Amino acid sequence: MAAQLLLQHVKTPSGVCADILVEAGRIVRIAPDLPPSLADTRLDAEGHMAAPGFVNAHIHPAQTFVGGPWVDYDYADTVPGRAKAEAEYLAKHGRMNSLRNCYVQFREAIRRGTTHVRGHIDVGVFGLAELEDAARAREAFRDVLDIEYVAMPSNGILNMKTDPEQTIAAALRAGASSIGGADPCDRDRDPVRSVELTLRLAAEHGAKVDLHLHEFGSMGLFSLDLLFKKIREYDLRDRVTISHAWCLANLPDTRYQPIAEAFQELGIGIITHAPGHVPFPSLKQARRWQVRYGVGTDNMRNLWGPYGMNDMRERVMLLAYLSDFRRREDLELAYDAGTYGSASVLGLPDYGLSEGCWADLVVFPVENRACALLEGPMPRFVIKRGVLVARDGELTDAVPPCPE
């Protein structure tokens, strides 16, 4: 029986020219000049770079204005201000069409080279309504995009309109695998109770945790210290992610080292979206101290910001730009943060470009990862489990269309 796919004439990230043979969704052989007869379907990369698909480790798929008419929205300058403006908008207009929004966001992610996403779904305002829509979208996209969800009370777990224990438990039954939240000090205003409740629920339900931490300086470090204690108490090692982690920005190594050691001990990863308005954790410092570090695009023109199209190539370029990376090795370090880095934080099995890994691949019409980051091309091919899902920025028929 012929194999599923033969991807011919690729240049791997290490610079090796080879063919990639895919069977049952996995890479089974990487070697030069494989016989074309090995597979019924063949794609010629023409010497262009192949790499693992991007892992977008932080998005908000149920919210976007993209795909609808332009909305003149008055964005606030602070996180509390944006949260307040969001609440006022939703109170006036009702919840967004979260099913359509998920389709729009997932389609954009795929055509730009993403093969796995972690989405944060608000369960604090409209209960499970957005999560139920997101679960329907995940089912529709199950063959073309891996999707996991975080049940996120966006205004803080202590500020939910419904009972947090019951709602979080129901959200985990409805398809979320992680518990989220935001800013135990700044938003919940009772950090001890906030952290205790979040991590206890994760332990009771066998869930992961992915917490938004926008708190700066000593406030954010205090929240981290509470998290460290409760992770140890509830034995949640390798199950906690800190998104944003602004309190880790610009720390001297003498202050960063004990925090990094706690991250290593407890298996905590951090996710950044490389914001332009505030300092964010240093990628090089994280690598130096062996802290897992991934990337997500965060918002896609929504109630929190006007920027973003779920483009991970663009996002790792912004990470490199804002970090003042110029050398090829630094540019490729940023690129890899959006692939292997994000996959490591999310704990994805069998990810990569080697035999035995899932055939989740992107081919860019460039020579190397630095060129892909700098030159801004659309992917030549996006492949999910050996199936072509996008070519030259156009989705294939394998990807579901947006609902009417």
Each residue of 189-210: pLDDT tens digit? 999 999 999 999 999 999 999 9
154 torsion bin: left (phi>0), alpha (psi -120 to 50), beta (else): alpha
278 CB burial (10 A radius; 0-12, 13-18, 19+): exposed
- Token pair in block for residue 93: 């207009």
Average pLDDT, stretch 287-298? 99
Q: Does position 404 have pLDDT exceeding 80, yes or no?
A: no
pLDDT in tens, 213-248: 999 999 999 999 999 999 999 999 999 999 999 999
Query: Which range is least confidently modeled, 21-30, 105-114, 122-131, 340-349?
Result: 122-131
- Using CA atoms, how far residue 377 sits from 213, 267, 300, 362, in Å, is 33, 35, 20, 12
Q: From CA 102, how far away is CA 64, in angstroms rounded?
A: 9
Average pLDDT, stretch 105-114? 99
Give me the pLDDT at residue 84, please. Answer: 83
Give me the pLDDT at residue 71, please. Answer: 85
Q: Does position 1 have pLDDT exceeding 70, yes or no?
A: no
Give me the pLDDT at residue 88, please. Answer: 86
- Contact assessment for residue 174 and residue 138, using Cβ atoms and an 8 Å cutoff: no
Q: For domain 54-346, give the CATH number.
A: 3.20.20.140
Give me the pLDDT at residue 81, please. Answer: 84
Q: What is the 3-state secondary structure (H, E, C) of the chain?
A: CCECEEEEEEECCCCCEEEEEEECCEEEEEECCCCHHHECCEEECCCCEEEECEEEEEECCCCCCCCCCCCCCCCCCCHHHHHHHHHHHHHHHCCCCHHHHHHHHHHHHHHCCEEEEEEEEECCCCCCHHHHHHHHHHHHCCCCCEEEEEEECCCCHHHCCCCHHHHHHHHHHCCCCEECCECCCCCCCCHHHHHHHHHHHHHHHCCEEEEECCCCHHHHHHHHHHHHHHHHHHCCCCCEEEECCHHHCCCCHHHHHHHHHHHHHHCCEEEECCCCCCCCCCHHHHHHCCCEEEECCECCCECCECCCCCCHHHHHHHHHHHCCCCCHHHHHHHHHHHHHHHHHHHCCCCCCCCCCCECCEEEECCCCHHHHHHHCCCCCEEEECCEEEEECCEECCCCCCCCC
Give me the pLDDT at residue 77, please. Answer: 84
Give me the pLDDT at residue 76, please. Answer: 85
- Contact assessment for residue 12 and residue 30, using Cβ atoms and an 8 Å cutoff: yes
Q: Where are the domains of the chain?
A: 4-52+352-395, 54-346
Share of the chain above pLDDT 90, in %: 89
pLDDT confidence of 92, banded at 50, 70, 90? confident
Cβ neighbours of 73 (radius 10 Å) = 15
Average pLDDT, stretch 354-370? 98
Give me the pLDDT at residue 384, please. Answer: 99
CA angle 262, 266, 269 (to 5 degrees): 90
Give me the pLDDT at residue 90, please. Answer: 86
Distance of CA 87 to the CA centre of its chain: 24
Query: Which fold is adopted by the domain 4-52+352-395?
Result: Urease, subunit C; domain 1 (2.30.40)
Query: Which range is least confidently modeled, 61-70, 138-147, 231-240?
Result: 61-70
Q: Does position 163 have pLDDT exceeding 80, yes or no?
A: yes
Q: Does position 17 have pLDDT exceeding 80, yes or no?
A: yes
- Whole-structure pTM value: 0.97
Average model confidence (pLDDT) for the chain?
96
Q: From CA 260, how far away is CA 286, in angstroms rounded?
A: 8
Average pLDDT, stretch 158-170? 95
